[in-house]
Amino acid sequence: MSNVKKHLSDYQDFTRIIREFFYTRQVTEVVTPSLLEAPTTDVYIDSIEVSVNQAISKPSKLYLHTSPELEMKRLLAKGSGDIFQMCQVYRDNEYGRINSNEFTMLEFYRIEFNIHQLMDEITELLAALGSNATVKKLSYSQVFFEYSDIDILNSDMSDLKKIANKLGLSSDYDWIEDIQMLLFVHLIEPKLKEIPVCFIYDFPNQQAALAEIHGPIAHRFEMYLSGTEVANGYQEIQSAQDYRDRFNTELNKRKDLSKPFEFLDNSFLEDLEEGIPKCSGVAIGIERLYSSLSL
Amino acid sequence: MNYNTSQFKNGLKLMLEGNPCSIVNNEIVKPGKGQAFNRVKFKDLITGKTLEKTFKSGESLEAADVMELEMQYLYSDGEKWHFMDPASFEQFDLGMESMGEAVNYLVEQDSCIVTLWNNNPISVTPPNHVILEVTDTDPGLKGDTAGTGGKPATLNTGVVVQVPLFVSIGDKVKVDTRTNEYSGRA
């Protein structure tokens, strides 16, 4: 068999296992639009803008989706139940050995699951894909205690700036979550290279994104495979008002950074009038997962 | 002159904590929900130590005025080691502390790489392989030509290297300067 044919057939086997994993569990495969009317509000993710319909005198601007998250949440709000999707997503200003403007994302939502049940299900998916490595689970706070002497949940901005300075790093950051991430990238992530599968959960509430907040923590998790971030999941917030507040927080930060900030996806918020059911959802980078499993 | 993170690449020489450093590894890390960072490993060109720093993308560092020139080793006066740039005939000298391992491998007239920072020499790198003469070693066993065993030999620079039993005083041997290992008869 030619090399190309072998690669294509291996990759097909891999995606087939993923699809069958969900079919067996009655999780419905969906397809949602990838050309959207509003760009993402995420402060550090940039949508790619496309101009359409110039030649037919109906010019307009659309945006390639950076993740199928909001379109899938519209389906959840309409009563879809458990759903999954594997699709191409697009992000501007991404570059590097493991970053690119286009990649494949597996995104799925499980009704009534909390993040621990979702992490268990991902572990089962890894096993179905042939990985039997021991799985390590640490909270964000524990991982900082294990690999540094920082009490991350009880450190304020000035504590963290002092630590950064002591390490010879810039402390020129406007938001505490950015300096938490700097210390995570500098001190913690290199240590995770030794761990085949590591879940980190319960992030500081400043890094909540779209996850439920309980006191100082947000019920959010990431999965690292040998030190590379491969998955990001939330116990999802449910009401339109919560989404509106979180989007506005991000848009305000975009404004401070002189990035485009004028888009709030009102049609999404309208579809969410009755909220989405209690659920947890996760996005998994498929190329990163595939390459770490085939090593 | 400054370089920002998007221009970082291996071998780039930058100023860090007052010392000239060379980038050994530059890793771009973009957290799913955060800004991009560069996690960079540097080698301090003066101390030889490795440093790891993380920058947010867009940060910049001052360039280090570092040049690597091929020079000829002239002689040592016991305190200083003297070199000459064969292109300009300009002479430079380094003290013992900056010579490092290079003292073990250089004989007069040899070529080597001298690293200059702001036109001052800070380190010397010998060629990967040098040819040195054995000045002292125990006599080998007669008939042992296969080189199955080994013995220490002192070479004309004073360095001691494990050599095969058949090597004797006066022989010229080839030494790998990165590992301090015998790599053949010259």
Residue A25, exposed/middle/buried by CB under 10 A (0-12, 13-18, 19+)? middle
**Amino acid at residue number A192:** L
**CATH class of domain segment(s) B129-185:** mainly beta
* Cβ-nearest to A181 among B16, B34, B59: B34
Distance of alpha carbon A4 from alpha carbon B164, whole angstroms: 50
Distance of CA A106 to the CA centre of its chain: 10
pLDDT tens for chain A, residues 1 to 295: 789 999 999 999 999 999 999 999 999 999 999 999 999 999 999 999 999 999 999 999 999 999 999 999 999 999 999 999 999 999 999 988 899 999 999 999 999 999 999 999 999 999 999 998 999 999 999 999 999 999 999 999 999 999 999 999 999 999 999 999 999 999 999 999 999 999 999 999 999 999 999 999 999 999 999 999 999 999 999 999 999 999 999 999 999 999 988 888 889 999 999 999 999 999 999 999 999 987 5
Delimit the CATH 2.30.30.30 region(s) of chain B: 2-62
Q: What one-letter code names the amino acid at A29?
A: E
Tokens of B68: 């690597």
The CATH code for residues B2-62 is 2.30.30.30
CATH-assigned architecture of domain B66-125: Beta Barrel (2.40)
Nearest to B46 by CA among B3, B72, B17: B17
Q: What is the pLDDT of residue B146?
A: 58
Is the Cβ–Cβ distance between B159 and B182 less than 8 Å? no
Q: What is the pLDDT of residue A262?
A: 80
- Nearest Cβ partner for B59 among A44, A170, A178: A170
All structural domains of chain A, each given as residue ranges with its CATH number in brackets, are 29-134+196-293 (3.30.930.10)
Q: Do A229 and B39 touch (CB under 8 A)?
A: no
| Closest-CA residue of chain A to B30 | A99
Residue range(s) in chain B whose domain bears CATH number 2.40.50.140: 66-125, 129-185
In chain B, pLDDT over 70 holds for what percent of residues?
95
- Candidates B28, B53, B56; nearest CB to A97: B28
Q: Chain B residue with minimal CA distance to A285?
A: B32
Between β-strands B181-185 and B172-176, what pairing exists: parallel, antiparallel or unpaired? antiparallel
Threshold 0.90, pTM exceeds:
no
pLDDT tier for residue B141 given thresholds of 50, 70 and 90 = low
- Give the pLDDT score at A171: 93
